[in-house]
Amino acid sequence: MQWPSKETLYTVIFGTETPAGRRFDLVLIVVILLSIGVLFLDSISAVRAQIGPLLYGLEWAFTLLFTLEYAVRIYCSQNRLAYLRSFYGLTDMLAVLPSYLVVFIPGASFLLMVRLIRVFRILRILKLIRYVNEANVLLRSLNQSRRKITVFFGSLFILVTLFGSLLYVVEGPEYGFTSIPVSIYWAIVTITTVGFGDITPQTPLGQGIAAVTMLMGYAIIAVPTGIISAELGRELRREYDSRHCPQCDKGGHERDAKFCKYCGGEMEFPSDDKKN
Amino acid sequence: MQWPSKETLYTVIFGTETPAGRRFDLVLIVVILLSIGVLFLDSISAVRAQIGPLLYGLEWAFTLLFTLEYAVRIYCSQNRLAYLRSFYGLTDMLAVLPSYLVVFIPGASFLLMVRLIRVFRILRILKLIRYVNEANVLLRSLNQSRRKITVFFGSLFILVTLFGSLLYVVEGPEYGFTSIPVSIYWAIVTITTVGFGDITPQTPLGQGIAAVTMLMGYAIIAVPTGIISAELGRELRREYDSRHCPQCDKGGHERDAKFCKYCGGEMEFPSDDKKN
Amino acid sequence: MQWPSKETLYTVIFGTETPAGRRFDLVLIVVILLSIGVLFLDSISAVRAQIGPLLYGLEWAFTLLFTLEYAVRIYCSQNRLAYLRSFYGLTDMLAVLPSYLVVFIPGASFLLMVRLIRVFRILRILKLIRYVNEANVLLRSLNQSRRKITVFFGSLFILVTLFGSLLYVVEGPEYGFTSIPVSIYWAIVTITTVGFGDITPQTPLGQGIAAVTMLMGYAIIAVPTGIISAELGRELRREYDSRHCPQCDKGGHERDAKFCKYCGGEMEFPSDDKKN
Amino acid sequence: MQWPSKETLYTVIFGTETPAGRRFDLVLIVVILLSIGVLFLDSISAVRAQIGPLLYGLEWAFTLLFTLEYAVRIYCSQNRLAYLRSFYGLTDMLAVLPSYLVVFIPGASFLLMVRLIRVFRILRILKLIRYVNEANVLLRSLNQSRRKITVFFGSLFILVTLFGSLLYVVEGPEYGFTSIPVSIYWAIVTITTVGFGDITPQTPLGQGIAAVTMLMGYAIIAVPTGIISAELGRELRREYDSRHCPQCDKGGHERDAKFCKYCGGEMEFPSDDKKN
């Protein structure tokens, strides 16, 4: 077997166009998920008591594998510094570094949690392979509504500060509202309709204010929903408008249209639909 | 009384067009609901203590009745293999099989739960009788937004993994976050705004991260809602556009329009409205 | 002071056009709210211990007042039978009847709860005075989406039956899932994201299925929201389209437009805006 | 250093156009947030035990600073009475008054909570600096849907009264439903899908009614969401329609369009985008 060239390696490891590149991505995603699974199992004390050494061995196997992959990525990058500094370069490093550090720094076992950053590594593959277009529509909508959502969260923070402080005054420490920050935490739990129930108002006045908090949370959830709905509706319309017939060049076709509704010519599909 | 022909039986049992076919469906739906009611009552220990034998008898009566119905369905099907392999053919079988199996396989009483599959049998009748068009609009919208919803759930899984792991590190087993999977379960309970309250963060840092989780869950519920709203709006517009005047053939009429708004001619109603 | 004629009485009591009619409605709404307030206070044992006799007296005063009003309404109705049989006629009767019945039927104190039906009496006044148009838009939207919402709830019932039964099998009575109906109650609490926390799954498999239930509930809330949004958007567009310029007769004007955007002529306001 | 003129002071303190005015606003917002932070820390008993005197000193320093600012604002206002009576004039006064009052009125320490009104002072700065346009779109949408939301909340109040009263009758005081107001509080907790779990129905009938309450709350959240979505969609369309090309004067351009889609001329950006 011949040793692959730097260019071939680059195409396989970074690219997704060739069959070999796709196969590599598929194997990588499975290995990442397995390594996360090992982390999960390792956190369950009953499981660790039984197969702890096995998990420890697997963990080191994955670490060495990811280290090798990281080294090859650096080796075959055209612009190494750009790769090292990129978001993906950093997650690749943070996915292996903690395992080595805990060997040298005793008691730093909390560093092992940093390995969970491997979850982010899946993003790269997801991003490259498939749902690019769909995710872009969502992200563009979120980006367009960024400022409205900021205004919404700003108002929400003022509301929870006021309601939390009110309940701190009305209920007080004897009913669990031990400080203003804790009361604001309660107000967030309540206004988002989560409602854990670990802290609940007991006085009639406190329950009345809590009821107002809930009704407000119940009603204003409509605001971010309305914002996203409106922007997403616009994005979708724009997306459809951007489909043009290759024969008569008229736009505004449905996403699943196979033929132009004006001239009957066959439509082309956008690139992300072809990939299926 | 004459024995009905195979064709007559088929029309009555599988069809919904004739009065006899509808009457059969109505009786069948009532019997199915009754048999499910018996299963429910049988699970309440106080009720079983009192009328257990009666419920047992009823259960066998329903099983025999459904077995008879299944046999007749096989008998009068034009393509028997197609029926046996179809979704409805399988649910029909699974609705009766467990009751017979538990007689032969002792201790397999969990098989009895499979009888709950009878719930699915109602679907057939609902599907045939009425809300076909409405359900289709909903299903088409869900289908159109399938990929966006996949992206949304993918992001949600990454979020709950990160927040769950964070709280496992911050709170730890002494506050109920006994392992990463349990912490992820907590993160799902929190981000979906369910908030059971069986596991709650107690440290200030944990409560702060929990507050971020809740606010995120409160805000991003807007995303699936926006997706469905936008798609459903499009589906509804398409549905209206597809109503055409039988006189002048122009489209875009309101669902409840009785006369064409362009030529004044009387409109026809879509078939699912006629059936009322 | 002259005794008012039957017609005058009718105008005052049933009408809302004259100043006297409005004043009567305003007084009536205040009296109804006061009588409901008395019912509320009477249910708080600490309050009843202190001012029980006063509340009892007030309750009888309100009952006599409503009886008088009921008698006058019957007296001045043009079509008495129609009034007696109408929704409002029945609520008027049920608002006073229980108080008399408990005198004759000892131990029937639960009948007193029927008096809460007085809440419905407010509806009449609200309906007549103000928000007619707005409520109609909402009701029309709900009515248009009636069938889709039925389909949605039908699917929801099948889902909660399945998930409830699954958790009954997986968790069983030792973790609070004492019967299938109770488990279905739990599934409803979970899928609607209420999450009381009185019954929670404890086994890993149960928590996994519960997580799926929650994510499903979190995602499908988008469906009714999308339905209502889409229908309401259509209703609003129709409402705007129905505003026509009195000069050039062109439609499609904004609700708050003061001048026609085509000919500059002054617009008339719809009747429900005039009443402010 | 020369003493600044009244006009210069006014421009710096009230204005946001000059660099000095912006710098003043930035410093002010930081000081306000710090003073709120001191209030929060002061409410945590563990923190107060340690650095109580320091917090007390800081609190007085902030009070004196805000008093000075208030005095200067009065001094340099063109219309002093208008300022004193304005919303911001009142919050400025209420931000400092309580600290002085508690010195003279012993035991009135609850007055200190009024200092939380300083949160509102941030509004002024937010309002002036940035998100004016975005907040206006949201507020206009909320204002347009004011009446529909009133109708919605009116219906909600009737619903929670009915369901709360029903559960008071069905469950009664032995299961925590101690009075009708408490039961209505429970109904609000349930219908808004908060679900604390401090009060939960235990009887089968109570759980059945609770299930209906939840499903209703789950479904009708669609109503305010639909209202806001529909109005916001209209507001956004109106906002885009109001962007006109400075060359050909045609409207309807996208918010981020850089060139006119009709004549290709360069577009101007709305004023709130320029300020970034």
ipTM of this complex: 0.79
Task: Inform me whether the pLDDT recorded for C127 exceeds 60.
Answer: no
Query: Does residue C220 belong to the interface with chain D, where contact is any CB pair within 8 Å?
Result: no
Q: Residue B273's pLDDT band (boundaries 50, 70, 90)?
A: very low
Which two tokens mark D79?
């219309």
Q: By C-alpha distance, which of B235, B261, B238, B239 is closest to B250?
A: B261
- Section C53-74 average pLDDT: 90
**Residue numbers in D near C213 (CB within 8 A):** none
Query: Does residue A29 belong to the interface with chain B, where contact is any CB pair within 8 Å?
Result: no
Task: Choose from A214-223, B197-206, C87-96 the range with maximum mean pLDDT.
Answer: B197-206
Quote the crossing angle between the two packed helices C45-76 and C6-14, to the nearest 10°.
140
Contact B161, A40 (CB under 8 A): no
Report how far residue D171's alpha carbon sits from residue C110's, in angstroms, rounded to the nearest whole number.
Answer: 12
| B76-90, D159-173, D230-244: least confidently modelled range | D230-244
Report how far residue D93's alpha carbon sits from residue D23's, in angstroms, rounded to the nearest whole number.
Answer: 23
Query: What pLDDT is recorded for position D275?
Result: 36
Q: Based on C-alpha coordinates, what's the Rg of chain B?
A: 26
At which residue do the structure tokens 């099907």 appear?
Answer: B77
Query: What pLDDT is recorded for position D208?
Result: 94
Query: What pLDDT is recorded for position A271?
Result: 44
- Section D34-57 average pLDDT: 88
The percentage of chain D sitting over the pLDDT mark of 70, rounded to a whole number, equals: 76
Contact A32, A8 (CB under 8 A): no
Domain at D6-131, CATH homologous superfamily: Voltage-gated potassium channels. Chain C (1.20.120.350)
Report how far residue B148's alpha carbon sits from residue B134's, in angstroms, rounded to the nearest whole number.
Answer: 22
Residue ranges covered by each domain of chain C = 6-131, 146-242
**Residue numbers in D near C126 (CB within 8 A):** 154
| A175-184, B240-249, D25-34: least confidently modelled range | B240-249
- Section C136-162 average pLDDT: 82
- Section D57-70 average pLDDT: 90
Query: What pLDDT is recorded for position C270?
Result: 52
Kindly identify which residue of chain D lies nearest to residue A238, measuring between CA atoms.
D254
Tell me the mean pLDDT per 10 residues along chain A, length 276.
77 79 83 87 88 90 91 88 85 82 71 70 58 70 81 85 87 88 94 92 93 90 82 72 65 59 63 38
Question: pTM above 0.90?
Answer: no
Task: Inform me whether the pLDDT recorded for D254 exceeds 60.
Answer: no
Q: Residue C138's pLDDT band (boundaries 50, 70, 90)?
A: confident
C4 CA: distance to closest CA in chain D (Å): 34
Q: Residue B271's pLDDT band (boundaries 50, 70, 90)?
A: very low
Whether B215 sits inside 8 A of A236 (CB atoms) is no
DSSP state of B259: B
Q: How many CB atoms are closer than 10 A to CB D269?
A: 13
Report how far residue A266's alpha carbon sits from residue A245's, in angstroms, rounded to the nearest whole number.
Answer: 8
Q: By C-alpha distance, which of C11, C28, C30 is closest to C19?
A: C11
The percentage of chain B sitting over the pLDDT mark of 90, rounded to a whole number, equals: 18
Query: What pLDDT is recorded for position A191?
Result: 93
Q: Which of B110, B194, B224 sits opposite C222 (nearest CB)?
A: B224
C135 CA: distance to closest CA in chain A (Å): 17
Query: What pLDDT is recorded for position B276?
Result: 34
B83 CA: distance to closest CA in chain A (Å): 32
Task: For B103-162, write each residue's pLDDT tens digit.
Answer: 777 665 666 667 777 776 766 555 554 555 677 777 777 887 888 888 888 888 888 988
Query: Does residue D242 belong to the interface with chain A, where contact is any CB pair within 8 Å?
Result: no
Task: For B161-192, write each residue's pLDDT tens digit.
Answer: 889 988 988 888 889 899 889 999 999 999 99
Whether D148 sits inside 8 A of C138 (CB atoms) is yes
- Mean pLDDT over the full length of chain B: 79
Task: Inform me whether the pLDDT recorded for D145 exceeds 60.
Answer: yes
C228 CA: distance to closest CA in chain B (Å): 9
Instruction: Identify the three-state secondary structure at position D259.
Output: strand
Query: What pLDDT is recorded for position C199?
Result: 92
Whether A165 sits inside 8 A of D116 (CB atoms) is yes
Query: Does residue B136 belong to the interface with chain A, where contact is any CB pair within 8 Å?
Result: no
| C271-275, D124-128, D150-154: least confidently modelled range | C271-275
Query: Does residue C153 belong to the interface with chain D, where contact is any CB pair within 8 Å?
Result: yes
**Residue numbers in B near C158 (CB within 8 A):** 119-120, 122-123
Query: Does residue A193 belong to the interface with chain C, where contact is any CB pair within 8 Å?
Result: yes
- Section D175-200 average pLDDT: 92
B167 CA: distance to closest CA in chain A (Å): 11
- Domain C146-242: assigned CATH number: 1.10.287.70
Query: What pLDDT is recorded for position B9?
Result: 83
**Residue numbers in D near A219 (CB within 8 A):** 149, 152-153, 224
Task: For A217-276, write each residue's pLDDT tens digit.
Answer: 888 888 888 888 878 777 777 666 666 666 666 665 555 566 666 666 666 655 444 333
Task: Inform me whether the pLDDT recorded for C76 exceeds 90.
Answer: no
Q: Which of C151, C194, C219 sits opposite B224 (nearest CB)?
A: C219
Task: For A11-20, write each residue's pLDDT tens digit.
Answer: 888 776 788 8
